[in-house]
């Protein structure tokens, strides 16, 4: 959320302008600003809406006036949508308990889902020390600093282990990692920066384990779904959204958030279990994705909600 009321008011007017021009039968909104200002605009125009909360973000962590403002806006905006989807149960419980959404309009979807055909299992390298890959925006909140510190510790016991970063630098975010920091880590030899990529498949395929040490409330991290779908074991934090992607000790490992020693222990454990056990973990992760996170499940839930809403509108004469 921004801190400029005039800019946010313009955002609301922009949503009104677009919705008035398009006249959709149903409007779907994702992420904080579209959910809030899109829902308010849809209410002004009488357009049915479906919203998706893709994670709580820092507004629910930091107790500031911005937090209070966001909660107030959520409460006002979420009175209109007929269905509000959440990507994990913890977020849904928080919104219901705080009176931000009615329980009868709340439902859970398994994240954004994953394309099981595109992110298909690929053979794992059979020799050498394992490669740990961080894949995502290089933000402190995503646990990049903890990843690097844990890599230093893990390298003390396993000097040939490799740790890689893949993702954009200098993002317009208060917790963005700067290029100078990454260059210093590379000069030290603790990590390798792979740059940015539109297609992460070859990088995940070349890794033995994907790590996300995020410590702010995520929805369900797509990078973990894609890695597990490709039959790679994952290490992530015991945080809402992150923990729903892994069965601890079965498809991957959980570590404590903001705990470098905990993450390093799990990295060492992943190294020491050997390639066969990591392969078994990866296969179990793929099975979990097929069972719970197939994108067809997510699409089916949205289509069902849209159909239900359109039928209700037709019955009331709101849609011709």
Would you list the domain boundaries of the chain? 5-113+295-316, 131-289
Kindly indicate the confidence band of residue 252, based on its pLDDT and cuts at 50, 70 and 90: very high
113 phi and psi angles, rounded to 5 deg = 75, 175
Query: What percentage of the chain carries pLDDT values higher than 70?
Result: 93
Q: What is the mean pLDDT of residues 272-278?
A: 92
Provide mean pLDDT across the span 71-98: 93
Does the structure show a pLDDT above 90 at 174? Answer: no
CA pair distance 180, 190, nearest whole angstrom: 14
Has residue 266 got a pLDDT over 80? yes
Helix extents (H) in 25-98: 32-33, 39-45, 65-77, 89-97
Distance CA(81)–CA(200), nearest Å, equals: 35
pLDDT band at 104 (very low <50, low <70, confident <90, very high): very high
d(CA 271, CA 274): 6
Provide, rounded to the nearest whole percent, the portion of the chain with pLDDT above 90. 78
Fold agreement (5-113+295-316, 131-289): yes
* Domain made up of 131-289: CATH architecture: 3-Layer(aba) Sandwich (3.40)
Ranges 6-15, 16-25, 146-155: which has the least confidence: 6-15
Q: What is the pLDDT of residues 45-70, one digit of tens each?
A: 999 999 999 987 666 666 666 677 88
CATH of domain 5-113+295-316: 3.40.50.2000
End-to-end CA distance of the chain: 36
Element (H, E) at 134: strand 131-135
Query: Would the pLDDT of 38 be above 70?
Result: yes
DSSP line for 257-284: TT-HHHHHHHHHHHHHTHHHHHHHHHHH
Quote the crossing angle between the two packed helices 144-157 and 260-272, to the nearest 10°.
50
**Contact, 252 vs 283, CB < 8 A?**
no
């Amino acid at each position: 959320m921004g801190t400029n009321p005039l800019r946010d008011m313009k955002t609301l007017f922009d949503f009104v302008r677009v919705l008035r021009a398009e006249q959709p039968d149903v409007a779907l909104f994702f992420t904080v600003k579209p959910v809030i200002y899109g829902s308010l605009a849809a209410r002004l125009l009488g357009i049915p809406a479906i919203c998706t909360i893709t994670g709580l973000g820092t507004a629910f962590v930091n107790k500031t006036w911005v937090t209070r403002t966001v909660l107030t806006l959520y409460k006002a905006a979420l009175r209109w949508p007929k269905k509000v989807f959440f990507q994990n149960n913890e977020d849904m419980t928080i919104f219901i308990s705080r009176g931000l959404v009615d329980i009868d309009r709340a439902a859970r979807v398994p994240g954004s889902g994953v394309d099981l055909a595109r992110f298909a299992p690929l053979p794992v390298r059979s020799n050498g020390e394992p490669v740990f890959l961080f894949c995502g925006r290089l933000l402190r909140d995503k646990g990049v600093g903890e990843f690097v510190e844990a890599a230093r510790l893990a390298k003390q016991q396993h000097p040939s282990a490799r740790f890689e970063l893949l993702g954009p630098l200098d993002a317009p975010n208060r917790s963005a990692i700067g290029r100078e920091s990454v260059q210093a880590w590379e000069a030290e030899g603790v990590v390798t920066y792979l740059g940015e990529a539109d297609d992460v498949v070859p990088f995940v395929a070349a890794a033995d384990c994907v790590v996300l040490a995020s410590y702010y409330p995520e929805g369900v991290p797509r990078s973990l779904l894609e890695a597990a779908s490709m039959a790679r074991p994952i290490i992530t934090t015991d945080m809402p959204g992150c923990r729903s992607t892994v069965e601890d000790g079965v498809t991957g490992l959980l570590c404590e958030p903001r705990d470098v020693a905990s993450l390093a222990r799990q990295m060492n454990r992943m190294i020491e279990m050997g390639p066969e056990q990591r392969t078994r973990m990866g296969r179990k992760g793929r099975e979990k994705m097929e069972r719970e996170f197939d994108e067809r499940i997510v699409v089916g839930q949205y289509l069902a909600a849209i159909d239900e809403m359109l039928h209700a509108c037709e019955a009331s004469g709101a849609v011709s």
